[in-house]
Amino acid sequence: MQEIFKNMGAIFALILKQAFTKGTSVLWENRGFVQLYLKTTFGKYKDKEIRFSLSYLIKIQIPETDKYLLVLNRRIDKQLQPVGGVYKRHGDDRLFNSWDYRPDTFKKGLGTDTISNQDLRFRIPGKHAVKAIKWFEEGKEREISINREFDEELINTKILDEHIFKNINYKHLKRFSKNLVWSEYHNCYEILIYDIFEFLPSQEQALALKDLNKIPNNLANGYAIVECDQIEQLRYCEDNHQLAKIGHHTKLIINQKF
């Protein structure tokens, strides 16, 4: 019980510190975090297995248009989504093992292979959920930049020129989370966190994106440039024929929720 009050005190101290430095609206914004703590410490979620997926999305807008560059998901057939993916963690497993951590499996998740090894997609009992989120917020022993996925999905695939896009600039727009949502697909409760970044092209990069927009879309090339209303409808169509679906989380790059 003493440990519980100690943790609650630390949480409220952090929120109050943010409130004084960033404005009292932070108290309202963090209400979900307090509710999560109560539900996973005292509520029915304490001993339930919670699946975490901690990722980032990159908003790549074609300059002077309402169009966005999306890529095909390598795991889900004919699904377009923003460039990005799950953060990777660094270091050993000691901290995660203390949370009774289990990696995703193909039976209950997306599985783990040589590419997805160390992905921040895992399962732990609810009683450790707040510890995991606090660790993630600290940004230690984990990936914090978007460069790896940008290179893997756009440079290595030859979608963008490696010389023109060798150096990139971007800014963090916001963080969106969904706490303790039930997933029919994974058959468990989930905590989903998405960091949304905006790619900031140089003049040369902006011209390259405009040139890419002039090329007719061909999903065989692994990407498509889609309009904002297609993202709202979650489907990519040509001549009123759907060629691919668009992932629900893609709405986050056009300031919508899902």
Read off the CATH number of the domain in which 220 is found: 3.90.79.10
**Residue 26: pLDDT band with limits 50, 70, 90:** very low
Q: What is the pLDDT of residue 95?
A: 93
pTM of the predicted model as reported, rounded to 2 decimal places: 0.85
Residue at 95 is within a domain: no
- Distances in Å between the Cα of 245 and the Cα atoms of 70, 82, 228 are 11, 12, 14
Kind of pairing, strands 235-238 and 241-246? antiparallel
Pair (11, 113) in one structural domain: no
Pair (208, 238) in one structural domain: yes
Q: Which tens digit of pLDDT belongs to each residue from 178-209?
A: 999 999 989 999 999 999 999 999 999 999 99
Q: What is the pLDDT of residue 19?
A: 43
Measured in residues, the chain has a length of 258
Residue 231 in tokens: 């993202």
Residue 178 in tokens: 């969904």
Total number of domains in the chain: 2
Pair (203, 243) in one structural domain: yes
Pair (39, 152) in one structural domain: no
Amino acid letter for position 238: E
Work out the average pLDDT over 72-78. Answer: 91
Crossing angle, helix 2-22 and helix 31-41, to 10 degrees?
A: 170
Residue whose C-alpha is closest to residue 215's, from 116, 69, 16: 69
Dist. CA 231–CA 248, nearest whole Å = 8
Confidence check: pLDDT of 86 > 90: yes
Residue at 96 is within a domain: no
Pair (24, 65) in one structural domain: no
Work out the average pLDDT over 169-182. Answer: 95
Q: What is the pLDDT of residue 88?
A: 96
**Contact criterion met (CB below 8 Å) for 165 and 205:** yes
Pair (37, 115) in one structural domain: no
- Distances in Å between the Cα of 81 and the Cα atoms of 45, 168, 245 are 31, 20, 9
- Distances in Å between the Cα of 244 and the Cα atoms of 70, 216, 220, 255 are 11, 15, 12, 22
Residue listed under structure tokens 């902006």: 206
Q: Which tens digit of pLDDT belongs to each residue from 104-150?
A: 865 544 555 455 678 999 999 999 999 999 999 999 999 999 999 99
Residue ranges making up the domain that contains 16: 1-43
Residue listed under structure tokens 């297609």: 230
Q: What is the pLDDT of residue 10?
A: 56
Q: What is the pLDDT of residue 109?
A: 47
Confidence check: pLDDT of 235 > 70: yes
Residue 254 in tokens: 């056009």
Residue at 135 is within a domain: no
Confidence check: pLDDT of 24 > 60: no
Kind of pairing, strands 49-59 and 121-125? antiparallel
Residue 169 in tokens: 């600039």
Residue at 74 is within a domain: yes
Q: Which tens digit of pLDDT belongs to each residue from 3-12?
A: 555 555 555 5
Pair (168, 227) in one structural domain: yes
User: Looking at the DSSP assignment, which residues form a beta bridge with residue 72?
Assistant: 80
Pair (3, 84) in one structural domain: no
Pair (148, 248) in one structural domain: yes
Pair (36, 157) in one structural domain: no
Phi and psi torsions of 251, nearest 5°? -60, -25
Pair (115, 29) in one structural domain: no
Burial annotation 192-210 (CB, 10 A radius, 16+ → b, else e)? bbbbbbbbebeeebeebbe
Pair (36, 153) in one structural domain: no
Share the mean pLDDT of the chain. Answer: 88
Q: What is the pLDDT of residue 42?
A: 87
Residue whose C-alpha is closest to residue 78's, from 258, 253, 247, 255: 247
Q: What is the pLDDT of residue 110?
A: 52
Calculate what percentage of the chain has a pLDDT beyond 90. Answer: 73
